[in-house]
Structure 1
Amino acid sequence: MYNQFFSRRYRLLRRATNLLCAAGLLTAAGASGAQLPPPIEVPEVIQNYQGTQDCFPGVIYDPSSIEEVQGIVRDAAAQGRKVMAGTRRFNSQIDAACAGNGEVQVTLKNMDQVVSLDKENHLVTVQAGMRFNDLTAYLREHELGVPMVTELAIFTIGGMLGSGTHGSTFTQKSNMISDYVTELKIVDGKGDLRVVNGEMLNAARVNLGVLGIVVEATIEVESGYKIQAKVKGHRDDDDLESLILDFARDNHSANIAWFPGLGRYTVTTYNKVPLNSKGNAYNAQADVSDFSEYLFGLIFDSLHEADSSALQCFAASLRYTARSSSYFRDVDTGFKKYIKPTGHADLMQHFVCKEPNNCVWDKLPIALQEVAIPFEELPNWIADVRQIVAHSERTCFPLNGIYFRFGKASNSYLGMSSGRDSAFVGIEYTLRQRGEAVPKNYFVNLEIEQMSLRKYGARPHWGKNSVAIFEDMPSRFPKWSQFLDVKAELDPNNIFTNPFWERVSGQDPLENYLTPECNADGQCYCRTDAHCESGTSCQAGNWYSDARICRAE
């Protein structure tokens, strides 16, 4: 957002840095004189996978050892600079892993190895820069697995712990990898290496990157098994409220895509079978031909611009059809597996794109809003969404429907399911960008978001969503103050503080983002007409009257 503004800031920052370096006033090692890895001395733009979020650090380091990470942090502390760990192409819509303009960015791309494997005690220790799909592949070779699997598995372990990345399971201890961590090694705000376990570990499991730089994690693993999947489309959604909790309770893993504008939903369930079961299938959701990608792009562009609901609902019908048939293929033959597709747990539950940085959704400006609500409240939430949809123009949620996943209560202080069994609810829509057309039925999505936050105490996903949705975050987590106590101990000088943390913690109140037309790009929920773009006014929601929506007058 505001890319032109930040691009100008970046050019000025780059010019200033070059001048300072030429004058000998800025050095790589700063005041501490520590031996550091070679920095990227000319500032480099860091972008997210969509190219919709830019970050402008003053320096980037790619350390290869814990000692180098310690040196970087000590050097930054001596200079009074902020530090944040992230990647150059981060898999988030927001700036949660950005150090801040002119600050110190650290990537752990050179720290991506398995440190040790204890098969007897079912523990693996890995460096935080390791990708999750690389970890699951390594464990599969040893007939082991992580007790949870997320659908998209290209995230780093450190990133997953920072944001609370989750999958869907209600029969395992947790749907977050964070809850299977038994010990962390963290470089704290003084540059010291801390071994974190015990109660402090519950604060660090989901840490937002603000407690320090996680460099190693020890993770519980379990004996390997295979998964048998079942995909079913339901052409009548009248029974959804009465069945949805049982889908979660009665299966190892389940996800549901609901298309309320069509009155349909799909259910994908995964259940354990022995490792020696016949079958070598994999999840092929991302196996899309170049031609299919091209057609999807055309439909996507049309969805954003269309004034009629007809095209949106046609696209939703196509998506429902795709999700209600098997999207599993055989590893060896490439043929689709329609009857009892069975394969290794990780390959069945996560999907990988044709190329690591070439997924169809990377090329499309998609906004993904996801929250977690109390599990038992989900039927009531669905009933309320039915009312919102019924009181609005026909809305079909064409990209992926309304997407449900599940997880048990977590001991983590800031996990989305902290202290309560949770249903995870996600809605995708075409990204709202200032000066561009309003996505069709965007206002229905805003009403659902605000209802989720204010009626159901929803907790937004830390790595997704817009600025506006992170309202009153400290009040949503019973152990927020205890998290702050741990941050004060590990980072007494606030070295690991960035703009995202300042917003969600309330240090930079969301009231500061109530600027003219702030609703136009997700910076705020309107409170007055001034917050809306020209031709619209701030009105109550059609069904949930506490919501405030910018609508045409």
Structure 2
Amino acid sequence: MGAILLLGFLQLLISLASSSPPPESITCSSGTAAGCTITNTYGTFPDRSTCRAGGVVYPTSEQELVEAVANATACGKKMKAATRYYHSIPKLACPDGDDGLLISTRQLNRIVNADAARMVITVESGVTVKELIEAAAEVGLALPYTPYWWGVTVGGLLSTGAHGSSLWGKGSAVHEYVVGMRIVTPAAAEEGYAKVRELDGGHPELDAAKVSLGVLGVISQVTLALQPLFKRSLTFSNCDDFNLAELAIAFGYQHEFADIAWYPSHRKVIYRIDDRVPFNVSGDGVYDFIGFRSTPTLETTLSRILEESLEATGNAKGKCLNSKVITDIITIRGYGLANDGFLFTGYPVIGYQNRMQSSGGCLDSKDDALLTTCPWDRRVRGLFFHQTTFTIALSKVTKFILDIQKLRDIYPEAFCGIELYNGILMRYVKASTAYLGKQEDSIDFDMTYYRSHDPMTPRLYEDVLEEIEQIAIIKYQGLPHWGKNRNIAFVGVIQKYAKACEFLRVKDAYDPKGLFSSEWTDQVLGIKGRASIVKEGCALEGLCICSEDIHCAPDKGYFCRPGKVYKEASVCTSIEQY
């Protein structure tokens, strides 16, 4: 109890912290020419492998980018574009072998042009969401929808189909607002081994390029359609979840920026009532989400130690108490909202779009020698987690939610683990024209949960989240978020995309030798191999769906058994629960 209360107290210190910026994704043993490795910001890929490369280049212009691609193409060398911090969980930026080339977009970070008259902005691919938002606002414009975390780059978020939350207009996916792109791809010797392909809004291949997984080449520049800067009014409403299955779909049509945070074990739902308001409505609010702010390293360390202790002792009730303390504090503090830019005094909070749509203060604060960090900073003993994120078509959402509620009613305490990480976030996404975009209007369900540093150690209620994962991706044919998820979410995924063949046709035309492809992307795209890895303990990490007890942890009392609600599921179940 004392540790839980201390953790709650430390939450109050977050707003006082500065931060140490996160480390870059690429390190090399000898300059930039040899012995390089790349990892994501969390420090670990789903299969825990180390991704090596022979070198890295940091082009500062499109011409230097062309030269880098040409040199590698002439040598038949594998390549991957890499962003500064690399926030994707899968190995999308990992080239095959130890001699591949990493092409960092860290220095391709210019705002090329913000045209207020035409309401468009052109940026280089290494520009972050924060930089894009600020540049647009300076000329009185706004991008209507973005991811909530502003640390991702334009090239990275487009490659993975990142989005905000809305069923209005063209929807919440950033790629729906792309009206032009310049992408550097391999070319034949007579073309100098590299070429710049310029795709305007009407180009038939733009629908392949705007969600590409990085397998077509390196995005150089992107032009996005903007809107006049506007204001929003945001209220979070706390309700019971008994009628969530009935209300979830309708709620997305009622409010432009709606989303839902669901806390199943506490039977609570936080509805985000968020809409545009006239420009003359008073308010200068800011949404600086607490979970993305600088956090005292002491807090993240204690939080991790506490959760490890609760896991080791099987103390689900402790997790429930801990999650209640944390969520109550966050609720009282308005989730990071501030009516005047400094203090939260009540709802609604009204502010300009550029100050309400995205946040991430821990990304670029001053260095304080790791006294404070992003909560997931891999250099400290902080958060270490899995993320399972899938999109369920609106036509199937009601039944999916009812299935989860049935599972919750069997194991109510099993969901407290995800409530430590803000519950199940439900965001709205519209059907896309992109070949690898969403196939139908949908709700995106995002779950973050504990991951052991020991891959052979099962989680408390391991089977429950595995069953949810399989209900989503198998029973309801959910689509995985390209930049998140464990391996099993990607098994056979390409068959769920109606225009996969068109995407592969463009891929073959842009990169016929597969220099921007890798073993991982070939598996995901159904070209060669499967994303699953079958070995001892593989189901514990989501590398496989168990079919034998050895895929779980029989020596620790976890065996492969059918699901409780979805009987076709195969999950690692504690013999004490079975």
The TM-score, its normalising length taken from structure 2, stands at 0.85
Q: How does 1:13-92 map to 2 (within 5 A)?
A: 40-53=32-45, 54-92=50-88
Letter in 2 for 1:106: I
1:124 aligns to what SS in structure 2?
strand
Larger CA deviation: 435-444 vs 167-176:
435-444
Aligned to 1:547: 569
Q: Residues 316 and 279 of structure 1: is their aligned pair in 2 closer, same or farther, counting only changes over 3 Å? A: same
The C-alpha deviation readout for 1:238-285, integer Å capped at 9, x for no partner, is 111121122211101112111111111111222112334322221132
Of the candidates 533, 537, 551, which is equivalent to residue 553 of structure 2?
533
- Tell me how far 1:48 sits from its aligned partner: 1.4
Please list every run of 5 or more consecutive structure 1 residues that lacks an aligned counterpart in the other structure: 1-9, 19-38
What is the DSSP-based 3-state SS (H/G/I as helix, E as strand, rest coil) of the residue aligned with 1:217? strand
* Cα distance in 2, alignment partners of residues 277 and 298 from structure 1: 46
Alignment partner of 1:284 out of 288, 295, 302? 288
Who is 2:134 aligned against? 137
Moved more, 282-291 or 202-211: 282-291
Hey, what does 1:449 align to over in structure 2?
A: 469
> 78-87 vs 437-446, which deviates more?
437-446
Whether 1:463 and 2:470 are equivalent positions in the alignment is no
Q: Which residue number in structure 2 is paired with residue 338 of structure 1? A: 346
Deviation at 1:466, TM superposition (A): 0.8
2:20 is aligned to none
Match of 2:115 among 81, 105, 118: 118
What amino acid is the match of 1:338? G
Per-residue CA deviation, residues 386-414 of structure 1 (Å, 9 max, x unaligned), is: 12222346322322211100011111110
The aligned amino acid for 1:104 is L
One-letter amino acid matched to 1:545? K
Contact 2:488–2:531 at 8 Å: present in 1 too? Answer: no
Report the more deviating stretch, 396-405 or 287-296: 287-296
2:233 — aligned with what? 228
2:95/2:102 contact within 8 Å kept: yes
Are residue 266 (structure 1) and residue 270 (structure 2) matched?
yes
**Higher RCO, 1 vs 2 (CA within 8 Å, ≥6 residues apart):** 2
How far apart, in 1, do the equivalents of 2:408 and 2:243 lie? 17
Counterpart in 2 of 1:35? none
- On the 8 A contact 1:328/1:341 being kept in 2, the answer is no
- 1:411-435: CA deviations, max 9, x gaps? 11101x23x1010001111114444
Which residue in the other structure is 1:520 paired with? Answer: 540
Aligned to 1:313: 320
Paired residue for 1:25? none
Query: May I ask how many residue pairs the two structures share in their alignment?
Result: 517
Percent pairwise identity = 26
2: CA distance between counterparts of 1:284 and 1:436?
Answer: 37
Distance (whole Å) between structure 2 residues aligned to residue 432 and residue 93 of structure 1: 16
Does structure 2 conserve the Cα–Cα contact (< 8 Å) formed by 1:388 and 1:544?
no
Give the 5 Å matches for 1:238-387: 238-286=242-290, 287=293, 290=296, 293=300, 296-322=303-329, 324-325=331-332, 326-330=334-338, 334-356=342-364, 358-362=373-377, 363-387=382-406
Match of 1:422 in 2: 442
CA-atom RMSD, angstroms? 2.3
**Contact preservation (8 Å) 1:46, 1:89:** no
Name the TM-score, length of structure 1 as normaliser.
0.88
> Is contact 1:185-1:193 (8 Å) kept?
yes
- The separation in 2 between residues aligned to 1:512 and 1:292, in whole angstroms, is 36
The letter of the residue matching 1:313 is: C
Secondary structure of 2:39's counterpart equals strand
Match of 1:153 in 2: 150
- C-alpha separation between the residues in 2 aligned to 1:78 and 1:530? 46
Shift of 1:328: 4.0
- List gaps (5 residues or longer) in structure 2: 1-25, 188-193, 366-372
For residues 228 and 258 of structure 2, what CA distance do their matches in structure 1 show? 21
